[in-house]
Amino acid sequence: MKDKRKSKFSMSKYDNDYFGDGGDKIELVTCPRGGASCNEHRFIINKYLLASHKFHVNKDYRRSIEALKLAYDKTTDLREPTCLNCAILFRCMVTQTLENIHDDLHKMAKGLLFNKRYQSSYEFAGIVLKEFKAEG
């Protein structure tokens, strides 16, 4: 008897598809201007988000947070009236990603087996998160 569950629940297959080098986290679906004013911004933001994810997977949390900070800063360059809602959405996405990293670091830095190795990254994530919330 063949086990059919293996092919249905292979998470590594889906992770590779979603976070592959060719995949963008932010894709244009509809835009009144056809994305003409934000193509370059979306490309750069996606590049930083992908870099942040790769650093996070490799447990290089400081560089992951710095990449998210650069992505957030790039969203502030979107000032066209038609782009403001997208810029807010991008900032929310970046902020949510940083909050997830901050929560993970909190568990690692403040857990039962306290590990000082992650304490500085946890504090840095908290500082950057406060900056994001103060701006937005």
For the segment 83-94, what is each residue's pLDDT rounded down to a tens digit?
788 888 889 999
Indicate the residue type of 40.
E
Q: Which of the 8 DSSP states describes residue 78?
A: -
pLDDT tier for residue 12 given thresholds of 50, 70 and 90: very low
Burial 17-33 (b: 16+ CB within 10 A, else e): eeeeeeeebbeeeeeee
Asked if the model's pLDDT at residue 8 lies above 60, the reply is: no
For residues 119 and 16, the model is more confident at: 119
